[in-house]
Structure 1
Amino acid sequence: MELQRLLIPGLKLQHIGGKYERYFVYVPKDFEKYLGKNVYIVTAVIDGREIPLGPRKISRKGKKFIITLPPNLKYIWDKYLYQKIDIILESNL
């Protein structure tokens, strides 16, 4: 069952360093059943402020789904690294 708009609260912002630095959040197993498409319009909610991230692809890392975050917002991600943020996914129908 796919929803038009889905709020996923309390996701830990994570980072992979190295040559190709990436910031991402894991999608909890409880929310995977609501995901149907690979691309959603994504908004991050940090300290009550909504930050539009645009269309993002949901991909797999091992057995888990992840949402990679845009690297051009590194200054925000570094400030909230390993803290909890909320993510809003919207279907782009």
Structure 2
Amino acid sequence: MITVGVKNLKDQLSLYLQYVKNGEKVIITEHNKIIAELSVPAQKDAISTFEQKLVQLSEEGKVILAKRTISLVKKPRIKEKLDYISVLNEIRSDRI
């Protein structure tokens, strides 16, 4: 287990990500308090409990599982950049 402060993690992120890839657990601290932990999942091929529940519901006939693994829905492209100040002002206009 490796402990690193936020600033050092930011400065050498690729190094600590390599540690995680090699199976190490990296504990991230801020002002000597643990705020996060980076680690590789114990079993990469294990089915999550959510997926297990979906399979169970499928076997019970309550849901039908999708046959394709990718979505056919295209994400919309944003053609113009949004000015966040004008968006915030528009949202807040009802508060004035």
TM-score range, shorter chain: under 0.3
Answer 1 or 2: which has greater helix percent: 2
Question: Higher RCO, 1 or 2 (CA under 8 Å, sep at least 6)?
Answer: 1
Provide the TM-score with structure 2 as the length reference. Answer: 0.23
Kindly indicate which of the two structures has a greater share of residues assigned to strand. 1
User: With structure 1 as the length reference, what TM-score do the two structures score?
Assistant: 0.24
Q: Which has the larger radius of gyration?
A: 2
